[in-house]
Amino acid sequence: MTGRLAGKVAAITGSASGFGEAAARLFVAEGAAVALGDIQVDRGRGITAELGHAARFVECDVSREEHVAALVDLAVDSFGQLDVMYNNAGIVGARGPIDQLPDAEWQFTIDVLLHGTFYGMKHAARVMKPRRTGSIISMASTAGVIGGLGPHAYAAAKHAVVGLTKNVGAELCRFGIRVNCIAPHSMATPMVAMAHLNDPDDIDGVLAELAERSPIAGRPGLAADVANAALWLAGDESGYTNGHCLTTDAGVTTGSKAEDAPYSEPMPMMREAGRTGL
């Protein structure tokens, strides 16, 4: 590793699994100190113990503002500052046809995915503004970029995360704080293994399935792909990037598909003429 986050302090929500865990491990390997928060206390504590003196853990339910505030305060009290806030925690949440969605499930999903992100931005700004520096990263989704890719409450919340990122970025940039988000498409984490195979631990199974469906032949999306995107947004290399939604989706939101696209084959008359262009 090359110390790309040397001297920086990060807080990561949902860091006991998937993208959050991968980011916590990568950020520490790149020189950062990290405050980890999650509702999975045993897993979170275990990962934090492995990471050693550069990591701290606190139980953090992102739907509770006081928990998110405490995670931010843990980073500052333990390591002196907060440079990077990564609002990553998430769930699939309410599913089903719009006319049958229970209100309580809708509310719960929005509480975790949208309100949790709002609390993270709010409390990061509280400690970053006086220092006039910082990078806030939130987890969107391809389901927050185009329609039809996720359940309704999930899609609504993730679209809102993209919008909030742009708006808060427009406010905080004058304080030297950049606000960006990442929009992955189905990648091999416990969440997707659970959603596709009903087994959060079957990462190999979901890797095989995603490899088959990937627009980039045989290449599934990995937790490391998103951790690397977060690393770039966290560090100074992305210093002029603000209000951006960075897709990690093999081009799914820009038209790339696993199947042969009709235009990848020459038109019959062009084939006969020995030409492939128009």
Ligand X SMILES: NC(=O)c1ccc[n+]([C@@H]2O[C@H](COP(=O)([O-])OP(=O)(O)OC[C@H]3O[C@@H](n4cnc5c(N)ncnc54)[C@H](O)[C@@H]3O)[C@@H](O)[C@H]2O)c1
Q: Which residue, among 84, 88, 82, 80, has the nearest Cα to 37 in the 3D structure?
A: 88
For ligand X, the binding residues in 240-269 under the rule CB under 6 A are: none
Q: What's the min distance (Å) between Cβ of 102 and ligand X? A: 18
Which sign, positive or negative, has the C-alpha torsion 159, 165, 167, 168?
Answer: positive
Size of the site for ligand X (CB under 6 A): 28
Rounded to whole angstroms, how far apart are CA atoms 132 and 197? 45
Stretch (H or E) spanning 13: strand 9-13
Active centre residues (catalytic): 141, 154, 158
Structure tokens at 43: 């897993």
List strand residue ranges (DSSP E) for 145-267, in order. Answer: 177-184, 245-248
Per-position x/- string for 105-144, each x denoting binding to ligand X as judged by CB under 6 A, each - no binding: -------x--------------------------x-x---
90 binds ligand X (CB under 6 A): yes
Please name the residues in contact with 167: beta carbons below 8 A apart, sequence gap of 6 or more: none
Please name the residues in contact with 51: beta carbons below 8 A apart, sequence gap of 6 or more: 24, 25, 28, 34
61 binds ligand X (CB under 6 A): yes
State which residue, 13 or 242, has the beta carbon closest to ligand X: 13
State which residue, 2 or 198, has the beta carbon closest to ligand X: 198
Rounded to whole angstroms, how far apart are CA atoms 183 and 138? 9
Contact range with ligand X by CB under 6 A, out of 10-18, 26-34, 78-86, 269-277: 10-18
State which residue, 51 or 80, has the beta carbon closest to ligand X: 51
Contact range with ligand X by CB under 6 A, out of 8-16, 23-31, 96-104, 169-177: 8-16
For ligand X, the binding residues in 172-211 under the rule CB under 6 A are: 184, 186-187, 189-192
State which residue, 66 or 265, has the beta carbon closest to ligand X: 66
65 binds ligand X (CB under 6 A): no
62 binds ligand X (CB under 6 A): yes
225 binds ligand X (CB under 6 A): no
Quote the distance between the C-alpha of residue 75 and its chain's center: 20
Rounded to whole angstroms, how far apart are CA atoms 74 and 92? 28
Contact residues for ligand X (CB under 6 A)?
Answer: 13-14, 16-20, 38-40, 60-63, 88-91, 112, 139, 141, 184, 186-187, 189-192
